[in-house]
Structure formats: structure tokens, C-alpha cells
Structure 1
Amino acid sequence: MPVFDTVLIDKDPRHPRIARLVLNRPEKLNAIGETTPSEIRRAVEWAEADDEVHVIVVEGAGRAFCAGYDLGDYAEGQGREGKGDHPCRQEKTPWDPMLDYAAMKRNTEDFMALWRCNKPTIAKVHGYAVAGGSDIALCCDLLTMADDARIGYMPTRVWGCPTTAMWTYRLGAMRAKQLMFTGDTIPGTQAAEWGLANFSVPAGQLDDATLKLAQRIAGVPRSHLMMHKLVVNQVWHSMGLEQSQMFATVFDGITRHNPEGMWFRRQAEAEGFKSAVAWRDSGRNIPEGDEARALVAELEAKLAAARAAVPVNRS
């Protein structure tokens, strides 16, 4: 059995035709760390290579499915005196969009292993599947949700663009635009009503309802499951999914390095990540253009003063 740092993979001991892929950082609501995308891909490859497995259920340990990227690592405390440049939070100017694109495209391709896998994948969502966590959920073939679970992409308000570009394909243009323009999340009940989720049930019934669906699928020959999945997936290919993901991934990098993105980063560094997120999600106007540039300068001065006030340890 493969061993990973942030995910678990195994066959269900009672139902060996069902593999369980568990996002396993419960102390951080299964936030996506640096190794998580590649570990998801490798876990899927393991399950795909096992002829006994017919279907893969993806779930989260603890209180949530996935709270998105571990942005505390990406946004807070990573400034000019922090850990240095990361392709997705570059400090050098002018920034290199292709470095960012290459890094984020790898993550997108790793998540898409769930979609490309020849075996059906089911995302079982409780708690939250937000930001990058919604990317993981929507790369699965099917989605089951607890009634009170929430799904959405709040960083569309600032500092993010969904790189998998799945929302339009799942919801259609009008509803996808509503969620992208507002950054709002919706509960499982609404996701099911809109057709984003296959169904939602009370949280206490989610395990049994998802297992029942997985068992029903697992009784179908692997060859048939593979053919049906390929037929449906090629429709999305012909509708330009790959091109949409390319644009979305480039734009995601721009959102993190344009004036608005730099304001969000400096706000997180100076006032804390929770402060930046609270502003983003509150409905307050997001600073933009010259206003954002002016605030970036103020916040950088504040950060420089704070660093200068720290005593130097000369021991």
C-alpha cells in the first residue's frame, strides 16, 4: 500500500471493489499542501492499476472535505524578508508568468487525474469544499454532498481564478458567472438543486448514501465503466476544456501578481491572513488599481518598520 504525507489510499475492507482516497490533513481542514496534488495523482494511479477496484471515493478526514490551498503558507509571512520567491508568490519584478503557470498547471494536471482515470470517481463532500478544494471535488465524475456542506470559490473576489475551469461545464454559463462574480458558496441542498451535486442528504446519511451509489457502480464491468466515461469526457474535450484550463491557469497567476493581488498578499503579511480573508469575503470594496498600489506601499512601509524594530540576535 502506498504511503503519502497528506492523503491516504486503500481499498474499502468490506467492499474491495471500492477504493477510498482520503485527504488527510484534518488539523488544517485538509488544506492543500505542496505535495498534495502529486499525492492525489499517485493515489489515483495506484487505484487505477488494481484490477479489483471499480470505483474511487474521494473524501476528507475530520470536519471538512478540503478548505482549499494552505494560503497561510502562500500569503502570510512570505514577503521580501520571508522564505524567498515561490513561483506562485513571486517578489521579483517584473514577475515571470510562465513560472507561475508551470507550477499551477502541474497541480491542475494532478487534480485532473481524477477526471482522466478510467474508473469512476466520486467526491463525498462534508463541511467545506472551497477554493482549491472545489477544484478537487469538481474533477471527480460524481459529487455527493451533505445538506449543510458548502462549495464555492471565494478567491474569485481577489487572488484567485479556478484553474480547473470546471464551473461552467458543471453549471452552465449563467450560474457559473454568478458564483465567479460574487465568490459566494452554496450549500449542498442548492448544489443538488442546481445539478452541481448528484444529490445531497443530511450529514448523518452521507456515508451510507454515497456507499450505496458506489456499490451500484462497482457491480458494472470495468470495461463498460471505462467506455462510458470516455464517451462523456470526450464531449467536454470537444467543448474546449483543455483550452479553458490553460486560460484559467494563466489568469490565476495574474490575480496573484497584479495590484489587487499584491494588496491582498501585503494585507495578509501585515495584518494576518484572517484579516485579509475577512476583508475579501465581507463585501467591502476590494482596493484596485492605483488605490491598491498606494495601500501596497503603505503596508510595505509598515512591514519594514516592524522588521526594523525586532532586536538583532548577535549571539
Structure 2
Amino acid sequence: MNYEHILYEVAEKIATITLNRPDRMNAWTPVMESDVRHAMQTAAADDNVRVIVLTGAGRAFCAGADMDALKGLDPDDIRRATSLPPFDMNRGPDWQTRYGYYPSIAKPIIAMINGATAGIGLVHALYCDLRFAADNTVFTTAFARRGLIAEHGISWMLPRIVGHANALDLLLSARRVSSEEALRIGLVNRLCSPDQLREQTYAYARDLADFVSPSAMAVIKRQLYDVPFQTLAEATIDANREMLIALRGSDFREGVASFMEKRPPRFTGK
């Protein structure tokens, strides 16, 4: 498929989705929303893809919503956009929202944050599973300084990543946050120099793609995103059930065999 506002490629079992409006600092548009959703669905369904990387072209990851589009925004457009069909009907309603579908994808998603990340751009970074950032990146929630509220579930996701007090600070002030502070409060997992960001991100992604069981990653990801809605007993019962399934799977047999034979694993995701 030919995309208008993104680039999509697959190499070495890694799908890369690149927000591609560098002249507008990859400002978010309805077209980009549609492109990203389709690309995520494509990557999720492709057996040749084991890891997804989301990044931006040029000097920004995503500087927020396109302000030109916001000027003439009709509230009815928002209501229509939020009525999209669920990404995965098998997941709970929490992961069937407009942008909250990333956790329902059974593959790790890494945000490779190459520059300015604000507003809706930060929302998408938070819905990714991991965040690797250039050490010159600046983050901001932005909403309060535009007369807007904490939208698209960021009021739920952000405290779970940085803690309640830090989330209040970032949302109320909408101040600029340096990459060093972002690492300190847990907003990002790793900082890299701009010239090393791509190399380090893809080295990590290739390690997952080549040496980790796809079936194990899928279950572990689901477990971690289900836990906020479970008791300890429910999480334990669920884990015990999944362990029995894993023990019967070919990935478990291959994991043991590759370890004993001192060779790289050949996981199939079964």
C-alpha cells in the first residue's frame, strides 16, 4: 500500500513505521492516523515481523497535532473518529480505544524518539512498549497550554509510567522536559546520542527478533497490560494457565534444545 504521511518497511524481522512529514515536524493529521493504524495492522498480521519500531523523519518524532487542522476542528469530527471499530475484538475495551490499541498488538513496539515529542506525539510514544530517545530530545504534554485536557488516555498511561506526582507535574504545567529528566523519571528507557540512536534501537530490536520466543513475548506483553485490571490471584491463575500452554509449545522445546546445543534458537512462535 502507498501511504501519504508515513513510510513502512520490513527488514530483518523488524517493521519500521516512520511518521513522514519532516517539514511539519511530523505533526499529526487524520491521514497520518489512518496510515499508522493500517501499518500497525499490517505488521501485527505479518508472520515475518517480530518487532515494530515507530519513529519520525527529520528532526522530530511528532510535535503534536497539526495546528492548521486544529483551527477548523469540528467537535463532531472527534465523535466520528472515536467510533472506529476495535483493533482487536478479543481484547478488553481498554485496549480498543482510538489510540490505545498498541497494547493489543502481540509484538513489542519500540518508539525510537529522534526529536521533539509533544501532545499527541507523546501519547503515541507512551502507548509503545519501550522508548529509546536521542539525548537532545525535548518532551511536553502541551495540552494545558492549548486550553485542552489530558486526552486519549494519557491521564491513565502517564502515571503508570512516571508515577502520579510526576504525571500531575507534566500534565498541569505542560512544561518542557529534557531527555535527561525523562530518563530519570522513567519516561524513556534508554538515551542515546543522535548518531547512535538508530544503531542501538535496532540492535535491541534484532536481539528480540532473533533470540526471543515470539509466543513468549506475545503472552508476556498481554500479561503486563492485563495486570492493572487483575488481582494478584487472577494474575497468578492466568500465568499458571499460560505456563501449561507454553510447556506444550514448540518454542519451549526449541528454547531448551538451542541452549543445550549452544546454538541460536529457531523459534516459530508456536
**TM-score, structure 1 normalization:** 0.64
- 1:235 partner letter: V
1:103 aligns with one of 69, 81, 93: 81
The question of whether the paired residues in 2 share the 8 Å contact of 1:9 and 1:22 is answered with yes
Pair 1:231 & 2:231 matched:
no
2:36 aligns with one of 24, 27, 40: 40
Whole-angstrom CA distance in 2 between matches of 1:223 and 1:213: 18
1:52 aligns with one of 18, 25, 48: 48
Whole-angstrom CA distance in 1 between matches of 2:230 and 2:178: 31
Q: CA deviation at 1:105?
A: 6.5
Unmatched 5+ residue regions in structure 1? 79-84, 89-98, 240-315
Distance 1:189 1:8, change over 3 A: same
1:163 aligns with one of 152, 160, 169: 152
Q: CA deviation at 1:38?
A: 2.2
- 2:44 partner letter: E
Whole-angstrom CA distance in 2 between matches of 1:142 and 1:163: 19
Pair 1:72 & 2:71 matched:
no
Instruction: Find the structure with the greater CA-based Rg.
Output: 1
Q: CA deviation at 1:106?
A: 4.7
The question of whether the paired residues in 2 share the 8 Å contact of 1:57 and 1:121 is answered with yes
Q: Output the aligned Cα RMSD.
A: 2.1
Match of residue 31 from structure 1: 27
2:189 aligns with one of 174, 181, 198: 198
Identity, in percent, stands at: 29
More helix by share: 1
Q: CA deviation at 1:87?
A: 2.3
Whole-angstrom CA distance in 2 between matches of 1:47 and 1:204: 27
The question of whether the paired residues in 2 share the 8 Å contact of 1:21 and 1:56 is answered with yes
Pair 1:4 & 2:8 matched:
no
User: Which range is displaced more, 162-171 or 57-66?
Assistant: 162-171
Q: For residues 179-218 of structure 1, what are the alpha-carbon distances to aligned partners after superposition, in whole Å with 9 as ceiling and x for unaligned? A: 0110012122211111111111211111111111111111
Unmatched 5+ residue regions in structure 2? 86-95, 232-270
- 2:15 partner letter: A
Matched position secondary structure for 2:227: helix
Pair 1:129 & 2:121 matched:
no
Match of residue 221 from structure 1: 213
Whole-angstrom CA distance in 1 between matches of 2:9 and 2:101: 17
Match of residue 254 from structure 1: none
Q: CA deviation at 1:61?
A: 0.7
- 1:226 partner letter: A
**TM-score, structure 2 normalization:** 0.75
- 1:11 partner letter: V
- 2:3 partner letter: F
- 1:7 partner letter: I
